[in-house]
Amino acid sequence: MTFTATGWLRALVLTCTFAMAACGDDGPAATPATCSPACSAGFTCVTGACVAACNPACVAGETCVVRNGASTCQGASVDAGDDVAADLPLVQETPPGVDTPPAMDLPPPMDTPPGMDAPPADVMRAPCGMTGQPCCGLDPMSMNASGACMGANVCDAMTRRCVAYTLEMNECTTTGECPAGQVCGLGELCSGGTRSCLRCQPRATMGALAAGAPCGGMITAPCADGICANNRCTRTCVPGAAGDAVCQGFSAGTICGELSQFVRVDGGLSNPITFGACVRSCRRDMDCADAAGNLRCRLSTRRIDDTLQQTCRVAFGTLAAGAACPLAPSSGSDPTMYCQNDQCFAVPMSMTAGYCSAFCATDADCPASAPVCHDIPFFRPSGTSSPTQPIRMCERR
């Protein structure tokens, strides 16, 4: 059985084999007054004709097509959420994307063991991230998308290429670059206040919070390792496979998540600075359980290697997995904002009714109202031009 869904970065449809080939199923024949025979799955009867029934309705510039019995709008994709640095009040988190394309419940585009992420498409990607190169993980179809750069480079929003900046005294990317007794942490601005940066600073000892302790918000005590990310004390790292290994050595079960920060400059926002922090990885909500009990498994982007990461973050909405969520809120809000895991899936053949989904490893992780755990293809940060990434989620039968 196939369902449509709404939410950040779910894939619209597998790429057509031929550039000029139609990407949808043909609509069935219909009689003028009523549709007889009944419309096939993915179509609805409108004034005696079977038409593709996209849920939600397509926006300008999109086309409603049906493939394998499920309808979807073909159009641009958006960015997923970013991991959040909580201890730099003058800097904003990366603004989320605004478009929310529906998804098709299709098999992943490559043979992938159940529950495993598809391998990164590094062999298909052009070099990126260094001075003069394109920004990594940038969706060419989205004018609002931001990319990531490595080292002392920033992604220029106009040229979409990495531009070098001059490191200032005591600037760092990881604690390993700092003198003994110091940590690499947030808290200051560089380049005359035009960009955020990390600096080596003395390790806090008096009243400092240990790694993994809740932080941010009303908690004002400093983190011993220099940074508060996803509402937990942690340390900085360099996003990518090498950073993942460093984080595993620092705290088991963590990966190097990517954070992007903007600074308000002359009434606008600066180009984003990319850095990393060790954040807890997850496949389901129980992987995020701790004494505070306020974390859920959610999606984050890591543009450096064009992947989506499942990380433990504070619940986005208030509705738990399986609860009903509105697909077309009267307020015009994104339906994903109501669900704790950011994901509101469509009830089959409904334009308004949805249900909150959750990430899972097996069926046992799913609620009774959405009991099946299987792979859902999601767009990577670079959008429709890259292979989709399968991520396991709960769905109805």
Rounded distance between C-alpha atoms, residue 12 and residue 28, angstroms: 22
pLDDT score at 89: 31
344, 7 Cβ separation under 8 angstroms: yes
d(CA 86, CA 213): 13
Q: What is the pLDDT of residue 377?
A: 92
Assess contact for 25 and 68: CB atoms under 8 A: yes
- Residue 44: the pLDDT is 66
Nearest to 209 by CA among 180, 229, 191: 229
| CA–CA separation, 316 and 330 (whole Å) | 19
Which residue, among 271, 206, 197, 259, has the nearest Cα to 234 in the 3D structure? 259
pLDDT value of residue 254: 95
Q: pLDDT digit of tens for each residue in the chain (397 aa)?
A: 333 344 434 443 222 222 222 222 333 333 334 555 555 555 666 555 555 666 555 544 445 544 444 555 544 222 335 565 544 333 333 333 323 233 333 333 333 333 334 444 444 567 899 999 999 998 888 887 889 999 899 998 889 999 999 999 899 989 989 999 999 988 678 888 888 889 999 998 888 999 999 998 888 888 999 899 988 999 999 999 999 999 999 999 999 999 888 777 776 777 878 889 999 999 999 999 988 888 999 999 999 999 999 999 998 789 999 999 888 887 777 777 889 999 988 888 888 889 999 999 999 999 999 999 999 999 999 987 778 999 999 998 8
Q: Judge contact between 121 and 305, C-beta under 8 A.
A: no
Predicted local confidence at residue 56, as pLDDT: 52
C-alpha–C-alpha distance, residues 348 and 202, integer Å: 56
Apex 144 CA angle, 141 and 145, nearest 5? 70
Residue-range domain boundaries for the chain: 91-315
Q: What is the pLDDT of residue 52?
A: 60
Please give the pLDDT value at position 204.
86
Residue 372 contacts residue 345 (beta carbons within 8 Å): no
Tokens for 101, please give them. 């394309």
Q: Given this model, what pLDDT does residue 41 score?
A: 56
Nearest one of 396, 397, 395, 387 to 118, comparing CA atoms: 387
pLDDT for 82: 57
In angstroms, the CA 179 to CA 101 distance is: 48
Cα separation, 100 vs 6, in Å, equals 7
Do the strands 268-269 and 254-265 form a parallel or antiparallel pair, or are they unpaired? Answer: antiparallel
